[in-house]
A and B are shown apart, each in its own frame.
Chain A
C-alpha cells in the first residue's frame, strides 16, 4: 500500500468551493437583502475566486505528488460506529484523484469566469453560482474520498446539484420536468450503488478502497463479486449516461449552457468512469462483466453518434456526442485499458467543454436561439468563436496534433491490444469514430458556414467568454501530447507514467496491427467523414439515410418505451391500489365491522320485545336447560 503523508491540502481543496457556496447562498443574499438584488459580477467573481484558489491548491497537491509523496491522506471522522456497522470518512489525494481535481477545478474556474458574462443579464444570479460551487464541492468530495461511502456522498451530491441547476429557471415547467427526470434516473442508478455497498459490506466488512483492494486482490472469483460489480456498473450507467439510463442527459440541456459544459460534459458524467478506474482491481475479478461493459460502451457510442446526426438543437447534438464519447471511454474500461480511459476522459473534458462554451457563446450571440437551422453563416460575425469551435471539432474528430487524435486512437488500438478486445469491437468503434467526424462537421456547417438564416445581427462575445475559450482551445490542441504512444518516443506517455502507481497497466498482448497503423487508419476515417459530412450538410441540413433518420430522430423510441414500460404502469398500479384496496377495502373495513356489530345488535333486540310472558319463558327455559344438563349428567 502506498505510503501516504498526512496533509491538510486535500481538505482545503475541498472546503474552498463549500465556502463559495456558503457565501453565495447565505452571506451575500442576506447582505444584499434577497437573492434578486445580488449583482452577477460580485457573485460570479467571488465564486470564481474560490474555484481559482482551489485550483491553485490542486496544482500544489500535484506538485507534492510529483515531488515524490505517493498520496496525501486526511482522515475526517467516524461517520457511524454502531454495533457491526463501522463507517468513517477520509480524504485521499493520489495521482488519479489529483488528476481529477485538476480537471474539476481547472475547467470549473474557466467555466465560472465564462458564466459571469454569460449570466450577466439574469437577476438573482447568486443562486446560480452557489449551486455551481456546491456542485464542485460535491464532485471534489467524490474524487477525493477514500471509501465507497464517501464516493456515494459525492455521487448523490452531484445528482442533487444537477437537479438544482437544470431547473434553475424553474418557472418554466419543461425545465422542472427535465430536472426531475434527471434526478430520478440517477436515483435508480444510486439504488444499485447502495445495494452494491450493502453487499460488499456484508461480505468484506469494509467500504474503504485500500482495504477492499487489498482484501480482494488475493481472493478467487466469488459469485458475489460479479453481483457487486454488476450493481456498480448499473449505477455508473445512471450517472455516466450509458445505454439503459442515459435518457436524462439530452433533456438536461434545459439548464444554462455553462451547466451543460461543466456538469454534463466535463465532470459529473465522468464519475462512472472514475469509479471503474478507481476500483479496477475489483472489476478485473469479474471479466465476463467487463466485456459486457465494453459492448454496452460501443453500442452507446453508436447510438449517441447516430442520434446526434439528426439533431437540430446545437446543445442536444453536443449532448448526444457526449453520450457517444462516454461510450468510447467505457469501451476502454471494458477491454481493461484503464489509463487510456482516463486519458480520453481528460481530453474529452477539454474539447467538449470548449465545444459547449463555444455553443454557449453562439447562443449568447443569437440571443437565445438554439436551433442550428435558424443559424448559419456566423463565421464572419463571430470570428473568435468560429476559430475555437474549429479547434474543438478538429479535436473531437481526431485530426492529428489535436488531443482527440491521441486519446481516441489509443482506445481504438486498445480494442485490439487488450485481452478482451476483438476485431468486431474495433470495427464498430471505427464506425462510431466515423459518425463522430460526421456530426462534428454538421455542427460547423450548419452554424458557421453556408447561407445565413439568422435574422438578427449577432455580435462577438465579450473577452470574459472568449478568454476561457482560448485557454480551452490551447488545452484541446496540446492536451494530446501528454499521452504520445510508447512506440513513437521513449517514455513519451506522461499520463501513464503519472497514473501507473495507482492504475496498473493490465497485460496487453501484441496486437495484430501496430499502433501507428491504427492511428493512420483512424485519421483516414475522420478525414473521409469530415469531407463527406461537409458535402452533405452544405446542401440541406436534413440527412436522408435510407429511412433510418426517422428512427434516429425519434431517439429509437426509447423515451416512449420507458414511459410505456415504467411510468404509466406505475401510475396505473397506484390508482388501482388506491381505488381497489385502499378505498374499496381498507377504509371500509372499519365500517363493515361497525355495521356487522350493529346488525347483530338489532337482531338481538328482537328478543327484548317487552312482553312479560316472553321474559318468564326465557327464565324458565334457562332453568329447565340447566336442570336437564344436571339430570343427564347425573345419569350417564
Chain B
C-alpha cells in the first residue's frame, strides 16, 4: 500500500473517530473536540489528495478549513457557556426539554 492509500485510510479513520466521539460522549466539550477532529481529518485527506494530484490547490483549501474550524470552535464555546448558565451542566442528557 503506498503512502497515499495509508494516509487516506488514516484520514477516514480519524473522521470516524470524530464522529464516534460526537455519538458516544455526552459531554458537549468532548463533542466539540470531535467536530474539530473531523475537520482536521478532512485537512489530512485534502493534503494527501493534493500530493497525489501534485497540485497546490488542495493544500490551499486547508487554510480555509482551519480558519473556519477556529471560528466554529469560538462560537461553539460561547454556546457551551450559555448551556452551562442555563442548565448548570454541559451534559447533553439535561438538554432534552424540547421534544415531541
Contact = CB atoms under 8 A, between A and B. Distances in A.
Interface stretch (A83-91, A156-164, A299-307, A609-617): A609-617
Contact of A610 (B22, B23, B24, B97): B97
A39 to B, nearest CB: 82
A609 B96 contact: yes
Interface of A is mostly: helix
Contact of B96 (A611, A616, A617, A620): A611
Contact of B19 (A608, A610, A620): A620
A571 interface: no
Nearest to B93: A611
B100 interface: yes
Interface string B78-100: 00000000000000110111111
Contacts of B51: none
A605 B100 CA distance: 5
Given A617-B23, A620-B19, A620-B23, A612 B100 contact: no
Contacts of A612: 92, 95-96
Contacts of B19: 620
Nearest to A623: B19
Interface in A489-538: none
Interface residues of B, number: 13
B99 A616 contact: no
Contacts of A609: 96, 99
Given A610-B97, A610-B100, A611-B92, 5 more contacts: A605-B100, A611-B93, A616-B23, A617-B23, A620-B23
Interface residues of A, number: 10
A617 B23 CA distance: 6
Contacts of A613: 23-24, 26, 92
Contacts of B22: 616
Nearest to A610: B99
A612 B93 CA distance: 8
B100 A608 contact: yes
B99 A608 contact: yes
Contacts of A617: 23
Nearest to B19: A620
Nearest to B28: A612
Interface in A610-632: 610-613, 616-617, 620
B9 to A, nearest CB: 15
A608 to B, nearest CB: 6
A605 B22 CA distance: 24
B14 to A, nearest CB: 16
A329 to B, nearest CB: 84
A616 B95 CA distance: 14
Contacts of B23: 613, 616-617, 620
Contacts of A620: 19, 23
5 contacts: A609-B96, A609-B99, A610-B98, A611-B96, A620-B19
Contacts of B96: 609-612
Nearest to A602: B100
